[in-house]
Structure formats: structure tokens, C-alpha cells
Amino acid sequence: MVGNMYTISPRLVNNRPKLKIIDIECHVLLAPDYDPSFTSSGQDSLVVFIHTDVGISGIGECDANPWMAKAVIEAPGTHTMGLGIKDMLIGLDPFEIGDIWNKLYTGTAMNGRRGMVVHALSAIDMALWDLCGKAVDKPVHELLGGATRNHITPYASLQPAGNTYEVYKEALVKSALDAKALGFMAVKSEVTMNGPYAHNGMAENFDRHTEVVAAVREALGPDITLMVDVQYLWSDAETCLSVVKDWAEFDLFFLETPILSDNVKELSKVSAKAPMKIASGEWLATRFEFEELMDVGGVQVAQPDVGRVGGLGEAKIVCDMALERGLTIVPHCWKTGISISATAHLAFVTNHCDFIEFMPPQLCVETLRRELVKEELVLENGQILLPTKPGLGVELNDGVLEKFRVA
């Protein structure tokens, strides 16, 4: 079993400055050109700022409905098992992240011990790590224990377009070629023309899904790593396996979310028999849900999202759990450069993290993701170099909060 609900705090050798949290700001951001039919949370964000009495602030975000997450953070408490997150934070020492996380988690127990409450805590936790790094002039990866390598390998997520089979396939092939031209050594392709999250309501048969995977692999050639995300396409293992048995020839690094992660028994059947690794975990909150995913679901690749699992500390715990089980980590991240930077810092201290999800502005469809932050992560020869700026190294572009803020 997993231990208590304390998460980790920054590892500091020297004396730290004395700080006190005095305010929390929550901003709901929405791209004015957002498309509600688009399966992408990159069109919105809850951006959180935590301010201290010495003028140092931290920034974070979560991957959840931003109006709901804002309400979770700002709502006042009414009793000892349903306290308010913002109220509990005021006056605390931001360096005590482990104690803070436990205080917030236990204090909001009746508000929701998984789901939206933990997703909102993710933004708080992320902002605390950023704040602490800025306060001691160190990048977050140093506070997490120190980088174990100088570069990590990102993969580009390919985005489809259109509402017909031919247009969909051609868009993914073009996106694959664009990623290849930018120097990516790995890509992940959505292939979802059916199921609960079918692109634009498409309803193509599974043979056509196989044809799309084949087309993307042909465009990339044999030397670029390919992963496929089918977005919970199947409801049972038997149907899934009848299709993906023919995908062995495409040399996939993993197949992402073939079945809902709640259905761990069916997922375990796929994990045991599929001709490629199975990846899942993008929606999960806390180490406890990952414990079930790993031990019952049997996945070979765990995908904690720092903006959903509970923040950087909880994601690091999940990474350690995966290491104990001999599993691979490939974090999920479909938000702005704030979360991408946090994910990169996590990856630099996690040797068994083979790739991270990375979308440079050139490949982004969503306006918000393209414009929110000034990119600090550098893609060079297919690798992301070790960040050196204090905290997460994130800086917002001028005027973006005013442009995108709706609440």
C-alpha cells in the first residue's frame, strides 16, 4: 500500500528565506476562437498566482474546467472537513509544500478527495514549487533532488482536422511531416474516428484506423518513434485486441488509453496481450488511483499529468512508484507552457521517463497555447535542454491575461 498523504517538499541545503503567503489569484482563461467540438483542453486554463509578503510570486495551472477549479480554490469553508483552500493557505510558509498539501487534502476531504479538488490542488502545488525556486534562485529540478541528465526527448502530438476520413488522414500525415521537419525524434498521433471522443463525431470502422496508423508510420519512416492515442476508443478488451493485433508491424512505442482507466479489469487484459506497451493515467488524481492502474490495470507506461494528479510532488511520488514496479513514465501534458515546463522539470529528475509531451508554437492549433508564455524550453537536435532559470522558468507574454481572461 501507498503511505500517508504527505507529499514532498523542496530539498534545500542552505538556509531558506522566511516567506509568508498573503494572497492567491485565480484567472480563468479562454481562447476567443475556442471550438467546443474540439477534444482539446489547450483552449482554456486556470492560471493561479501565489503571492508572498516579500513580493515573490509563483505561477501554476491545472488541466480541468477552469471555472470549477477556480470555485474550488476560492470557496469558503463551512466545517473542519470542508475547509476553503484559499483560506487555509493564507499565512503559511510556502517552503513547507509537503505539510501544505496534506493540510489542504485533509481539510477538503468532504469537498472531494479525488477529481476537481485534487486537480485544483495541482495548480496550487505547481505555483508553490515555482515560488520556492524563485526565492532561492534555483530551477525546480534542483529542488526536486537534482537533474540526472542534461537533456530529455520530447514527442510531438499530432493534431487532426476535418470531418471526413481522407481529410483526417491527410492532416495527420502533414502534421507528422511537420514534426519531422522540426527535428522531433518521436511523435504521438491521435487516431480516433469512432468511440466516445471521436473527432468531429466521425464513425469510421476500425480497418480505417489501421490505415491511418499505417499512413503516419510511412510518412515518418522507421527511425522516428511512434505512439498512438485512441482516446478510449473501445469498451472491451476483446474488440480492442482484435484490432491492435494487426498494429505490431507499425512498431509502436505505446498505445495510449485504449479503454477507460476506470475499467481496470478489461484494461489489464489488453495490457497482458497487446503487441505493444499500454499507456494510461492522464485523468487520474493522486497516487492511490495510480496504484490501482499499475497493480490491477497492468499498464507498462504510467502517464501522470502534473496539472491533474495533485501537482509536482504527487507526480514525483507516482514516478517513484513506477520505478519500484519496473514501469516507464511518460507524463501527459496538454496545457500551456506553464505545465509543459513543470513536466520537463519532473522528467529531468526521473531517469525512467523516456519522453515528455511537447507542443512548440509551430505545431499548436490552439491560440491560447501558442500565445500565453514565452518559451524557455529549447528544442535542439530533437532534445530539450536542461532549464536553468529560477523556478519553472516561465514568463507570461505581455497582455495575455487581459486578452484571454473571462473570469
Domain limits of the chain?
A: 21-137, 151-397
Q: What is the mean pLDDT of residues 225-240?
A: 98
Q: Is the pLDDT of residue 318 over 80?
A: yes
Rounded Cα distance, 69 and 392, in Å:
21
Average pLDDT of the segment spanning 303-330:
97
Confidence of residue 4 (pLDDT cuts 50, 70, 90): low
What phi and psi values does residue 227 have, to the nearest 5 degrees?
-125, 155
Residue 76 has pLDDT above 50, yes or no: yes
pLDDT at 360: 80
- Does 2 have pLDDT greater than 50? no
The pLDDT score that the predictor gives to residue 38 is 78
If you average pLDDT over residues 395-402, what whole number do you get?
Answer: 94
pLDDT average, residue stretch 75-83: 95
**Residue 354 pLDDT greater than 60, yes or no:** yes
Cα distances (angstroms) measured from residue 340 to each of 68, 245, 357, 399 = 22, 33, 8, 21
- Confirm if 340 and 152 have CB atoms less than 8 A apart: no
- Which residue from 267, 208, 271 is spatially nearest to 243, judged by alpha carbons? 208
- pLDDT for residue 159: 84
Query: How far apart are alpha carbons 125 and 338 in whole angstroms?
Result: 13
pLDDT of residue 384: 96
pLDDT, average across residues 251-270: 97
Quote the CA–CA distance of 202 and 282 in Å, as a whole number.
23
Model confidence band, residue 1 (pLDDT cutoffs 50, 70, 90): very low
The pLDDT value given to residue 114 = 87
DSSP code, position 199: G
pTM over 0.85: yes
**Cα–Cα distance between 333 and 321 in angstroms, integer?**
19
* pLDDT, tens only, 151-177: 999 999 988 899 999 999 999 999 999
User: All 3 cell numbers of residue 71?
Assistant: 470555485
The verdict on domain 21-137 having CATH code 3.30.390.10 is yes
Q: Is the pLDDT of residue 3 over 60?
A: no
Q: Provide the mean pLDDT of the chain.
A: 94
Tally Cβ neighbours within 10 Å of residue 398: 9
151-397 belongs to CATH 3.20.20.120:
yes
Mapping DSSP to helix (H, G, I), strand (E, B) and coil, where does residue 222 land?
Answer: coil
Asked whether the predicted pLDDT for residue 98 surpasses 80, the reply is yes
